[in-house]
Each structure stands twice: as C-alpha cells, then as structure tokens.
Amino acid sequence: MGGQLAKQVLKHIRGQQDLLVSLLRDLVTAESPSSEPAVHERARHVFMSALIELGWHVAETGPVDGPRHVYARPVRHKKGAPVQLIIGHYDTVWPVGTVIDRPFTINGNMIRGPGVFDMKGGLAQLVIAIKTIQDFSLEPSVVPIVFVNADEEIGSRTSTRYIRHLANLANRALVLEPALGDAGSLKTERKGIGRFTITVHGKAAHAGLDPAAGASAILELSHVIQKLFAMNDVDSGITINVGTIDGGVQPNVIAPHSTAVVDVRVPTVADGDRIEKLIHGLQPETPGVRLRVEGAIGRPSMESTPRNEALWLQTVAIADQLGIELSRAKVGGGSDGNTTSQYTATLDGLGPVGHGAHAQHECLYIDKTLDRAALLTMLLLAPPTETLALEETG
C-alpha cells in the first residue's frame, strides 16, 4: 500500500459526493435526540441498512427499553487477525422538531442540519470508506469492528461497558467525532470529565425565634463551594465548576438541605484520581450538618501516550501520501475516545471538517469531509499500529 493507491482512493472518494449527501440527508432527517431513545429506530435503520447493503454482519445491543447500540463487522475476515475498533454515535443533542426549524440544506460546499457535524457526517464517511475498500477489492489486514452508540451525548451510560470490552481487544481505535476548526485538527488529547453532586443535610429551625437550634445547610454549602473553587488550577488545566445550587425551604427557616452539582475537567488520569479523592474527602465545618458526596471521573483523560503517539505518526504518514496536511489539538470536551485510550492506541476527531457542534450554525464542508473519508479509508487499510519501540523509549 503506497502513494499510488492513496491517490487512486482520494480521486475515487472525491467522486462520492452524491452518496455523502444522500446518506447525510437520510441520517439528519431521522432525528435521534439522546433523551428520547424511543424515536431512534429510523436513524438506526438508515445506518444499519447502509452496512447491510455492503454485506456486513450488523446487530443491535443495549437495554431493551433504552438506547440501542449498533455493532457491525465484515461477514468474511481473516481468522486470528488483529482488529481495529471504529467508534461513533448516532444520538444528537437536538430535540425532535429541530429539523423543521433548521432543515437539511446544501449551500455550495456546505451542508447544514442538526447533527450533521456532530456526528452523523462521521457515520457517512465510514460507509463511504467501507464501500471504497470493496470497490477496490481490498481486504484490511486489521479487521474493522464498528460500534456506534446511542447515548454518547449523555455520557455513554449504557454503552461504555461494550466500548471498554471491544477496546481491550483492539490494536487501535479510530473515533469519528468531528475534527476541530477550519484546519480540521485531529484530537490527540482530551481532558477527563467528572460530575459530582454534593448534598448537605442540616437541621431546620425558625430563623427568628430559635436560630441556634438549627444547622444551616446553605451556610455549609458556601464553605464547600469555596473549597471546590480553591481546587482550580487553570495553568495546569484543572477546572472545577459549581454549575448549579439548590436548597432551603423558606427565608424564615434555617435551611435543612442544600445541593451543588459540580463539573470537573482534568488533563491527566492522575489529576482525576487526586481531585476525586479530594472531593469525596470533603468534611463539614458547620456543627450539626453532614455531607453526602456522589459522583466520579466518568470519562478518564485521553493522554499523549506512546501508543497514541505511534498512531498519530502513522496517520500523518498516510496523510502525506494523500497530500493532506494534518494538525492536532488538545480539547476540553470528552468523547468515547477517552475510554478507548485507556486500553488501546486511539485517535479522535477523524470525522467531518466543519463548525458548530451543539450550536445552531452546525455545518460541514463537503470537500474536506470527503478528503477525511479518504484518510479513514487508508487508515482502515493500514497495517497494525506498532507501539513497542515507542513504549521502550517513552
């Protein structure tokens, strides 16, 4: 596999614009908000049918009455060959009806619509890549296994266990989340993300007649909030934000309860372990109150590991063959790449190039997204990612 094949693949995929548009139209108009798994069937059917038409084995998994995820693999593959995991999601942040207000539209080189960038464009790229490999009568030496979940936008609550299992078996993981910015930077580092709920239990009393008989949960929460904000270390990339608070009964009642919900972002797994212990170790200062701390770092940090670096360098070499210039970035948001990175070489942001994830101006660029489909195709055809030398010297 060399530069000549790369050029042929790129030319072929640049001729697949009609397929890209058709797939995206079907995927985007089939709305699939994370919070409403009951309406996911049409979007799931569109994606599954596209793979079935290519002769793949496709199955659903997940809770019967909850989000249903898609697992797919080639029907024929080399026995005992290494596998590569391709990760995506078909759920979006947009409620049903958004496509009426912001319909699927094409304006020159740009496609707009809810979920087109994050990340139904990545699913369309995958179908085009698999079709291209078949069009060229090629067979990857690393067997592609696809897992597309339905709850990524709400933390992959039911799908993470499947992702962990598959990543542990894989030589590498390719994550089809959208690229970053006009340059289409790939995402090689992501912060770990934690969500914590801190509940303070106090004691009610009349604020005027007998205030000393009470124990204010709100007063204690104010101490807790100060301790949490003191954990921030922006220069090191550690951020702790108290996003919402609630509590109390009436202005004339000493508050018997209060609650804070906390978002945590950390650059390394070690930072996450440390901050998690600090939060769970909080102790009350106000007499007569008690604290209950719930939560954890749900998505560990995706760090620059030797195996991740090896996959990045392998991808840069492939991009050079295609004539595509690549850059990389560290980002604060999380994805399922955070999970796969704990088990195997991971590269994120291989999806569409555009703008506006989770925003009303969401869009992708057709030409750059097709080029990224070519990059994905060549990655799927690449030999196993070798990490031993880097690990020995890293």
pLDDT tens for 344-354 read 999 999 999 99
344 C-beta neighbours (distance < 10 Å), count: 23
* The predicted structure's pLDDT at residue 1: 52
* The predicted structure's pLDDT at residue 391: 44
SS3 60: strand
In this model, does residue 388 exceed pLDDT 70?
no
* The predicted structure's pLDDT at residue 37: 96
Kindly state the average pLDDT of the residues 97-119.
98
Fold (topology level) of 3-189+302-393: Aminopeptidase (3.40.630)
In this model, does residue 390 exceed pLDDT 80?
no
Work out the pLDDT band at 392, boundaries 50, 70, 90. very low
Percentage of the chain lying above the pLDDT 90 cut: 95
d(CA 385, CA 344): 10
* The predicted structure's pLDDT at residue 77: 80
* The predicted structure's pLDDT at residue 80: 86
Domain map (residue ranges) of the chain: 3-189+302-393, 192-299
The widest CA-to-CA distance across the chain, in whole angstroms, is: 86
* The predicted structure's pLDDT at residue 250: 97
162-209 pLDDT tens trace: 999 999 999 999 999 999 999 999 999 999 999 999 999 999 999 999
Work out the pLDDT band at 371, boundaries 50, 70, 90. very high
In this model, does residue 153 exceed pLDDT 80?
yes
Kindly state the average pLDDT of the residues 260-278.
98
Kindly state the average pLDDT of the residues 271-282.
98
The two tokens of residue 179 are 């690229």
How distant, in Å, are the alpha carbons of 24, 91, 368 from that of 363? 12, 16, 12
CATH dotted code for 192-299? 3.30.70.360
In this model, does residue 81 exceed pLDDT 90?
yes
* The predicted structure's pLDDT at residue 366: 98
Residues 6+ apart with CB under 8 A from 177: 88, 118, 119, 122, 187, 335, 337, 348, 349, 350, 351
Kindly state the average pLDDT of the residues 36-58.
97
- Whether omega before 119 lies within 30 degrees of 0, making that bond cis, reads yes
SS3 268: coil
How distant, in Å, are the alpha carbons of 6, 187, 345, 382 from that of 311? 18, 12, 6, 10
In this model, does residue 111 exceed pLDDT 60?
yes
Which one-letter amino acid corresponds to residue 187?
K
Percentage of the chain lying above the pLDDT 70 cut: 98
In this model, does residue 240 exceed pLDDT 50?
yes
Average pLDDT for the chain: 96
